[in-house]
Amino acid sequence: MSAPTKTYAPATTQTRIVVSDLSKRFGSVHAVDGLSFVVEPGQVTGFLGPNGAGKTTTLRMALGLITPDSGSATYAGTLYSSLAHPSSQVGAVLETAFHPGRSGRSHLRVYCAAAGLPDERADAVLAQVGMTDAAKRKTGGYSLGMRQRLGLATALLGDPQVLILDEPANGLDPEGIQWLRNFLRHLAHDQGRTILVSSHLLAEVQQTVDRIVIIGGGKLVREGTIAELADPARAWVHLRSPNAGTLHQELLDAGAQVETSSPEELTVRGMPIAAIGHLAFTSGVELHELRTATTDLEEIYFRLTAGQEEFKGASNAPDDAPGAAPIPAPAAPEVPSREVSS
């Protein structure tokens, strides 16, 4: 989103990841199905999808651990398996598993040796992720949050231009998530690195990422910047009024989409919140509540997870979800984001 500032002079040029027509079947299941997207340098890109959407399979194919049935992922045009110094070009965290009898520092020193990096890097990355105190303890006694940090430290060993993290916020406490968020944004925005972060929780990535790639059922659902997809001007607005019926008609006349969730409550789309407030004022309708309910992005993701994980019992849906009624098909996006039917 923001242009990378030149406070950091990377050894290599910035690296763009191009995922192109990637597919993988496991038996009869299309885990990943013709998936293509691009990850730009200088940004944090979120890779979002419900559990089982194919995120991990995609990342493992991109990193040469799973052989794709078709398609490829390249880093500045090169396959992972053909990179000259993979650790110094692409860092990845896919596992939070370590040999339980080995200390965090020993774990890192193993990979320093394998990658031909100086041993000092082990202590440097431990300090970078705030794990210096736990460095000499066996990883068998680490909490999940500490494992996440050690995994991140492993990925950072070679000071790579690209970072790929699979569910890095799992097991982190709120403070840790805040720290991770700032850390990743710093690496991308200030140092021009390419960061791809997967998650199955929208809220987790929404505040961290600049761009977002949403997949479901192994296919691309939507790709775009947060600015486009989470534009408050395109949000769903929730209002409560004793004269909801009157306002409902006024809103429809003004061209808005309206849903009724109860006799006193309306959910409005396609009209800025200020315009709705103004309409209520000029119509002399009393308002008891007027607020932004969900953004377009939340709406897309809610629909995706609702469909995939069968949250059909929408009576348990949170209050600010747009009503318990079946959600209408999304309006054609007016913003220049790509939509791919799934």
Stretch of residues binding another protein (CB under 8 A), selected from 46-54, 94-102, 228-236, 285-293:
94-102
**Residue among 1, 29, 76, 115 that touches another protein (CB under 8 A):** 115
Using the minimum distance from each CB to another protein, give the nearer residue, 91 or 322: 91
Cβ atoms of residues 289 and 240 within 8 Å: yes
d(C-alpha 219, C-alpha 197), whole Å: 17
196 in contact with another protein (CB under 8 A): no
Using the minimum distance from each CB to another protein, give the nearer residue, 65 or 285: 65
What is the nearest approach in angstroms of another protein to the Cβ of residue 185? 24
Using the minimum distance from each CB to another protein, give the nearer residue, 52 or 333: 52
83 in contact with another protein (CB under 8 A): yes
142 in contact with another protein (CB under 8 A): no
Packing angle of the helix pair 120-128, 144-156 (nearest 10 deg): 130
3-class DSSP state of 243? coil
66 in contact with another protein (CB under 8 A): yes
Write each residue from 42 to 61 as x if it is in contact with another protein (CB under 8 A), else as -, in one continuous string.
--------------xx--x-
For another protein, how many residues bind (rule: CB under 8 A)? Answer: 33
**Residue among 15, 45, 89, 103 that touches another protein (CB under 8 A):** 103
- H/E stretch holding 116: none
Amino acid symbol at 94 = L
Cβ atoms of residues 155 and 165 within 8 Å: yes
207 in contact with another protein (CB under 8 A): no
Stretch of residues binding another protein (CB under 8 A), selected from 101-109, 180-188, 211-219, 303-311:
101-109
Packing angle of the helix pair 144-156, 104-115 (nearest 10 deg): 20
If we measure between CA atoms, which residue out of 12, 191, 186, 151 comes closest to residue 88? 12
Using the minimum distance from each CB to another protein, give the nearer residue, 43 or 96: 96
**Residue among 9, 27, 77, 101 that touches another protein (CB under 8 A):** 101
If we measure between CA atoms, which residue out of 140, 177, 148 comes closest to residue 165? 148
Using the minimum distance from each CB to another protein, give the nearer residue, 104 or 323: 104
Cα–Cα separations (whole angstroms), residue 292 to 102, 233, 329 = 50, 9, 20
99 in contact with another protein (CB under 8 A): yes
> Please, which residues bridge with residue 289 across strands?
240
Residue with tokens 């965090």: 104
3-class DSSP state of 97? coil
28 in contact with another protein (CB under 8 A): no
**Residue among 8, 13, 51, 113 that touches another protein (CB under 8 A):** 113
As given in the structure block, the two tokens for residue 159 are: 């000071």
8-state DSSP, 103: B
**Residue among 64, 270, 307, 333 that touches another protein (CB under 8 A):** 64
d(C-alpha 103, C-alpha 99), whole Å: 8
**Residue among 18, 29, 76, 94 that touches another protein (CB under 8 A):** 94
Number of Cβ within 10 Å of residue 2's Cβ equals 11
d(C-alpha 187, C-alpha 17), whole Å: 16
Using the minimum distance from each CB to another protein, give the nearer residue, 101 or 174: 101
Interface positions with another protein (CB under 8 A): 56-57, 60, 63-67, 80-81, 83, 86-87, 92, 94-95, 97-103, 106-107, 109-111, 113-116, 154
